[in-house]
A and B are shown apart, each in its own frame.
Chain A
Amino acid sequence: MFLSRWEAEKRLQNFFFICLSPGEIVVNEVNFVRKCISAESNQDDPWGKLICTNFKVSFIPQEAPPKQKSQLSHLLLGEHDIPLTCLEQVVTVNDTKGKKKVLGSNQKLKFNPTELILYCKDLRIIRFCFDEAGPESARKVCLAIAHYSHPADLQLLFGFEYQGRRYHECKVNGSTPRGGMQTPIFDRPSDWDREIKRTSASEWRVCSINESYAISPSLPEYIVVPVSLADQDLKQYSLYFTDRRIPLWCWNHPNGSALVRMACIVDPLHQRKIDQRIFTAITKSHTQRSEVIRSDLDKCLPNIQDIQSAFVKVRQICVLDPFEESEERWLSSIDNSRWLEYVRAFLKHSAEIVYYLEGKNVSVILQEEEDRDLNCVVSSLVQLMLDPHYRSLIGFQSLVQKEWVMAGHRFLDRCNHLKKNYKEESPLFMLFLDCVWQMMNQYPAAFEFTEAYLTVLSDSMWIPLFSTFLFSSPKQRAQHLMDFAKNKAIPQGEDQVVYFPPVWEWSQQFSIKDQTLFNNPMYVGKGAACVQNGEVKTFRRTKKTYSSTLRGTATLMRNGLKEGEDTLTRRGSLVSELKSEFSAVKDESPSERFFRDWFSRPADQQGLLIPLSMPSHVALWKLFFLRWVPEACIPRGGPITAYHKLSQLVDEIEILQSQLRQYKGPSPGNTPLPSPSGPPSDQRRMYFKASYPDDPATTPDFFTSSFPFTPVGNLCRRSVYGTPISKFLNGARIWLSTETLANDTV
């Protein structure tokens, strides 16, 4: 028996092939494990080896399943892999004894598990059965998984091992500084300078008083402040702010008004005086010396605990509750979770801020106790609505970098990577991504990226390899990365972005081809082309047209218009209309009037965009919340089927464009004439390539509403009709009890 197993294992080694990343080591493994892919029967369940490494939980099926066609495949993670950081809860079950235990680190397990259930932060629920596995090995693997998913220290996250190795390997091959990354990181004055110039914020300057984090640990080293405030003043004011966070400039409207964010003033005695000085300085920085208004976000928006509890509820409804039972009360359950209500609240409030900046031409200060949570969401949403630059891929990434990473959002605490303090956990970034999705859903041609991109970005929070989501402040990052460089013999002065790259370096995770899934074929933006009145025009965002917005919304650059035609379509200046503040409409506030006016005109994809925040127009983000739910999967349907056609068409257009560009015209003599090739295949932006005329026009079988993800094997709830203990295993209690369980283990 023993021998035959050994023999079998030896034979299996030919099939089993685990991909280890640099620095990755196998901690423990167990063979003859069954991965449950269906709650009803185990006929199709794959058998294989369950492995715990210092990076991930991996399942290597005995028989390689047919490769899923056209599916997003991660370069470092296999189809069945889960990064340890992505584990929310590790639950072991003994079916025969009717026992279960939620495992933390360094724990004992008094029974041999027959089953392991992994609840993941990306909403997957993965189940393994040990009916044929060695009981002792199974137990050890479970304990290892639990232990390694609760790192005692940040430096123990796998990124710190992996990036060190990767750096040295790349160094051998000779790496270029910052790679080809175009996303500004805002860790140096030039990035801020460029942003000041881009938005014509001439009355603002880059200030370096926080170099080496001399003033505040949670502010970036370089910040933008009113020209009228001297370094000395700012140093003095900083004493009165929470965490010494002086006001931060975010963005300038072409009309001169600025968006500023700041923390609260700690000392009530000085509040008035400081407020006044700050306000005066911001007013001075407005080209028209307009007034400043303040929006206190703590007073008008849900707090981080509210948001966390809403997310826990909506997650529970989407992936944990039994599908059929939850059908009947589906809508009210989603309603009661309040998730969509909060999404709406943030969109609505951001739109209100937009009204002040755009319609009233006044500067706005966003104020929040710490300026590190709600302010991140609102400031970035406001900028997305006002500035089309942030709706491009690079622009969006720079926005996250500027308003989240550099502004000191506590990613480490809010993600709870160390699983230590559940009270600090809150999915603020997720909430922001959902808000972005709502805008994208309402204006599908306005964003350069897709919902697949947003989903992949949210998943990347749970892969501990990128500097983006690992730290709670710029100072913390700097310190950890400095220590890391020392430990890994990385030469002093080397760029942190090079040795510990941010998530924006997507080639760390995906092939060039897979990255094209991020490109929205509908995008109407710079570089994209459009047709108007039968004439093909190319969008250009020239400085001249942009600055014309000084006259108000209506004059924001119009797409595809001939120069000179501009004036014909220019609508009356909104600003002057608003001056009277008169509204013929009953009970209508000036901002409602502003929105109604805006909605009565066609939307300009490259201009101001205001999302509808009526409850009927804010929807559940299905790709994110339901992608793993097999029952909710529409075979050969869903938005992907339209995306497919759009993508093919745009690819065809780009081939034609390239042909037209390359066309040199009929040339006499021997010059070779038109090269009939499109752009090289690695430069093609579209995931789906133009089809050949003979191709059958059918919907590929692998298309589902979950594309580019698959529910197969990623969400295995216990069958309601299953074993008697399935009742007490009701996921609801498991997930909801996170907090108490965490306290128990302490």
Chain B
Amino acid sequence: AFCLFSDKDIIYMCHFNGAVKGKVLITNYRLYFKSSDADVTVMLDVPLGAISRVEKMGGASSRGENSYGLDITCKDMRNLKFALKQEGHSRRDIFELLFRHAFPLSHGLPLFAYVTQEKYAENGWNIYKPVEEFRRQGLPNNKWRITFINKSYDLCDTYPTVLAVPFKSKEEDLRRVAAFRSRARIPATGGGYEGDEYQNAELVFLDIQNIHVMRESLKKLKDIVYPNVEESHWLSSLESTHWLEHVKLVLSGAIQVADKVSSGNSVVVHCSDGWDRTAQLTSLAMLMLDSHYRTLRGFQVLIEKEWISFGHKFASRIGHGDKNHADQDRSPIFVQFIDCVWQMTKQFPTAFEFNEHLLLTILDHLYSCRFGTFLYNCESAREQHVRSKTVSLWSLVNSKMDIYLNPFYTPESGRVLYPVASMRHLELWVTYYIRWNPRIRQQQQSPVEQRYKELLALRDEYLKKLEQLQLSDSSTSSRLANSPTANTSSTTSTPTQQYTHLQTPF
């Protein structure tokens, strides 16, 4: 990242602290603000990718104090206002810089993911290998086969190149079916397969609303949590956003899918295009059914497979680098999915290998444009540039895995996880939606997780001490050949000794 604009005096019109004087620094990746006032410490660090809209407020004739400046709307649930002096051209300069670099695609500039030269120990692009993943699931078998029919995206340009399709289906049939489906999206695994006709099929409508309703719902949610949490009738206001109700419907839809699959039925999941609702439902159902997807790497595979590879239109839904903030194609479908995952982790605190920090990181980089992972609308568009020229988000994650691990994780392969999709249990994810509120203590980790880690460290410390004592002891006892101590290291089944054997980390 290079610095475009630095150390200019600016006033941050904080919703909580009022006018805060400070310095601003703008690079091609982020906007950074630090208060210069010793009394109030305010720091802002906003990736330009998170900006959806930049507007000028006030004109040359504006009178009121601090009424002349910039108004920035972000995709990550916050708004920022800056006031500037009318003299000079500082506002014009900042505005133009922000406008160009927050919306590079609208200005013929590359996204930051193509500019950055980050290096990581692991290459996250290797996390998902379709054939390997099919093999893990026991495919191909006598019912399903792997096809490369879409190798050059000529069957369906929004589908991946490698597909698993029913064993009996012929390549020409697939081509025929493709012609009938919206944008040639034939049924494939992940979702399942539907026959030539819906024979013996049970049709279930899940009543989940469209992308526009979701967008409006999240907008309403923002209204009641930012900048201040609605004080009176909070729960009624929350209800009127319908956000949790939508989360509930998605979750309960996924539960129905998972339930059908686990009782031996195949399920076809589809919505009009098969890239919004379908991705949510299949990936959530898979998370419930297959414990592999609840591991840190498995979850990455799930996102790569069901979202990225199967063509969720990230570019359109998020609008990376695009100035058109009012674009009707934008919608928080992926955010809603991550919210559903978070709800599941709340209900099953030991079932997921990853923690909340991973989910927050994913959502931050959904917008940041620092990684290639969520760029573009489908695999065919992505293939040409992304893998070779950008870094994968999973490179960052997998190079520093420990901060994303849930210490409570208890692997239980084969366990099907059914969350309770009831308003009784669904909660607003405050650590995401209300995280900008300075009245809340900023915590890197959940206090429960933190405490567990402390205790784990303590256990290891004691084990080490005990081992050292026993070591020095056995050296003494070997000299005293007849001492009964020599027996202590023999294998009796007292619990303590077993611990020492098992859990010592060296």
Contact = CB atoms under 8 A, between A and B. Distances in A.
B265 interface: no
A1 interface: no
A641 B495 CA distance: 23
Interface in A606-653: 612, 614-617, 619, 622, 626, 629, 631-639, 641-642, 644-646, 649-650, 652-653
B6 interface: no
Nearest to B469: A663
Given A599-B439, A660-B462, A616 B234 contact: yes
A659 interface: yes
A601 B41 CA distance: 12
Contacts of A673: 473, 477, 483-485, 488
Interface in A686-706: 690, 692-693, 697-699, 705
Interface in B423-450: 423-425, 427-428, 430, 434, 437-441, 447-448
**Residue among B411, B438, B495 with the most chain A CB within 10 A?**
B495
Interface string B215-245: 0000000000100011101111011100011
Contact of B422 (A327, A332, A614, A652): A327
Interface in A676-719: 676-678, 690, 692-693, 697-699, 705
Contacts of A692: 495, 498
Nearest to B418: A635
A655 B459 CA distance: 10
Given A331-B244, A642-B408, A646-B455, A656 B425 contact: no
A637 B348 contact: yes
Given A335-B234, A612-B440, A649-B452, A693 B498 contact: yes
Given A332-B235, A332-B236, A656 B459 contact: yes
Nearest to B476: A666
A657 B461 CA distance: 10
Given A331-B239, A645-B350, A649-B452, A599 B440 contact: yes
A616 B430 contact: yes
B495 A655 contact: yes
B238 A331 contact: yes
B40 A331 contact: no
Nearest to A653: B459
Given A645-B410, A673-B485, A692-B495, A639 B349 contact: yes
A612 B484 CA distance: 59
Interface stretch (A53-61, A126-134, A526-534): A526-534
Contacts of B494: 676-677
A586 interface: yes
Contacts of A698: 410, 412, 415
B470 A674 contact: yes
Contacts of A491: none
A288 to B, nearest CB: 26
A566 B469 CA distance: 31
**Residue among A601, A619, A646 with the most chain B CB within 10 A?**
A646
Contacts of B499: 652, 655-656, 690, 693
B456 interface: yes
A672 interface: yes
Contacts of A616: 225, 229, 234, 428, 430, 434
A322 B194 CA distance: 38
B381 interface: no
Interface string B11-53: 0000011111000000000000000010111000000000000
B38 to A, nearest CB: 10
Interface in A296-343: 323, 327-332, 334-336, 340
A442 to B, nearest CB: 8
A344 B40 CA distance: 28
A43 interface: no
A665 interface: yes
A174 B46 CA distance: 72
A21 B476 CA distance: 59
A295 to B, nearest CB: 21
B350 A699 contact: yes
A652 B500 CA distance: 11
B263 interface: no
A40 to B, nearest CB: 18
Contacts of A649: 452, 455-456, 459
B452 A632 contact: no
B461 A531 contact: yes
A603 interface: yes
Contact of B451 (A332, A444, A615): A444
**Residue among A650, A655, A656, A657 with the most chain B CB within 10 A?**
A656
A666 B472 contact: yes
A637 B347 contact: yes
A668 interface: yes
Contacts of B411: 697
Contacts of A645: 350, 408, 410, 452
Nearest to B224: A616
Contact of B39 (A584, A595, A619): A584
Contacts of A443: 447
A275 B161 CA distance: 85
Nearest to B37: A584
Contacts of B18: 584-586
Contact of A612 (B230, B428, B439, B477): B439
Contacts of A331: 235-236, 238-239, 244, 423
A524 interface: yes
Contacts of A642: 349-350, 408, 448, 452
A521 B415 CA distance: 27
A340 B231 CA distance: 12
Contacts of A68: none
Contact of A619 (B244, B410, B427, B496): B427
Given A645-B410, A663-B466, A653 B458 contact: yes
Nearest to B241: A331
Given A645-B350, A690-B499, A615 B231 contact: yes
A666 B440 contact: no
A614 B439 contact: yes
B430 A674 contact: no
Contact of B461 (A536, A596, A638, A678): A536
A530 B469 CA distance: 21
A722 interface: no
Contacts of A323: 422
Contacts of B477: 666, 673
A179 interface: no
Interface string B467-506: 0011011001100100111001000101111110111000
B239 A329 contact: yes
A600 interface: yes
Given A327-B423, A336-B236, A693 B348 contact: no
Contact of A584 (B40, B461, B503): B40
Interface in B174-216: none
A602 interface: yes
Nearest to B344: A637
B465 interface: yes
Contacts of A614: 229, 231, 437, 439-440
Contact of A676 (B351, B418, B472, B497): B497
Contacts of A327: 248, 422-423
Nearest to B462: A656
Contacts of B87: none
Contact of B458 (A531, A585, A599): A531
B466 A656 contact: yes
Task: Please list the 6 inter-chain residue pairs (A to B) with the smallest Cβ-Cβ separation, ordered nearest first.
Answer: A615-B234, A586-B18, A335-B235, A330-B423, A666-B476, A656-B462
9 contacts: A329-B239, A334-B235, A445-B451, A531-B458, A614-B439, A619-B427, A631-B424, A632-B424, A642-B408
Given A331-B236, A335-B235, A584-B17, 15 more contacts: A330-B423, A331-B244, A335-B234, A336-B236, A444-B451, A585-B40, A632-B420, A634-B420, A634-B425, A652-B503, A653-B462, A655-B496, A656-B499, A659-B466, A699-B350
